[in-house]
Amino acid sequence: MTGFVLKLIAILSMLIDHTAAVFNLKLFSYDTYIAMRYIGRIAFPIFCFLIVEGAIYTHNISKYLLRLGIFALISEIPFDLALRGKIFYFEASNVFFTLFLGLFAISVSQLMTNDISLSKKGSIELSVMPRVAISISALVISCLISYLLSTDYTVGGVLIIYCMYILHDKPVISYISMALILLVFFGTIEAWGLFAIPLFFIYNQKRGLNNKIIQYLFYVFYPLHLLILWCISLII
């Protein structure tokens, strides 16, 4: 299974989940609503997995961070309108912020695995302990910001991304850590997200269908589908 297919599964799952969240019991029976929310639980673990894969294989993590940051800002009003019914709702923030903060923590960790360049001719060589301290500090700061912004999946989401990165070479332990964080932070409903794990094992580490247009379409889909759902909710 390619990264492209994984993204399609994630956005389809997210669409089903958000459709249920926006229309609630106005359009769906209680059982249908619950089933749609359960299906939606697999989206976030897949997005976390893809963020980690992107962080490992990207040629420029700074540009990756910039894209996530820009779309986090673009998506906030559609997110607030669709799920909260307000233009500005300061008690919750969209999932792009969580993905951005998780990737930020990873980027600092990556930086600490190499010398910190000062110029073309020199660098600072840090011993192990300062590197670890800086990496942990970046993770703590990311978690704190996520908590203050009340981002989707909050602190637990950032920790999942970071743990999946640190344990990337130990997939079984990585997925166990994800399961524990989901259960501890979010309860049993998020356990349905564990159905994403079999997809990770059949991932072939290839992007699949991919170009800049398709790449940005995946980014645009998030705010766009929220806006469309909100517009439909006004009509209904």
3-state DSSP percent of the chain in helix, strand and coil, to 5: 75, 5, 20
Which residue's structure tokens are 């929220």?
Answer: 226
Number of domains in the chain: 1
**Cβ atoms within 10 Å of 123's Cβ, excluding its own:** 12
For the whole model, what pTM was predicted?
Answer: 0.92
Q: What is the pLDDT of residue 126?
A: 59
Instruction: Name residues of the chain where pLDDT drops below 50.
Output: 116-123
Domain that holds residue 88: 3-235
SS3 assignment, position 216: helix
Q: What is the pLDDT of residue 142?
A: 98
Q: What is the pLDDT of residue 26?
A: 86
Q: What is the pLDDT of residue 214?
A: 86
Q: What is the pLDDT of residue 213?
A: 86
Q: What is the pLDDT of residue 64?
A: 95
Q: What is the pLDDT of residue 125?
A: 56
Q: What is the pLDDT of residue 217?
A: 92
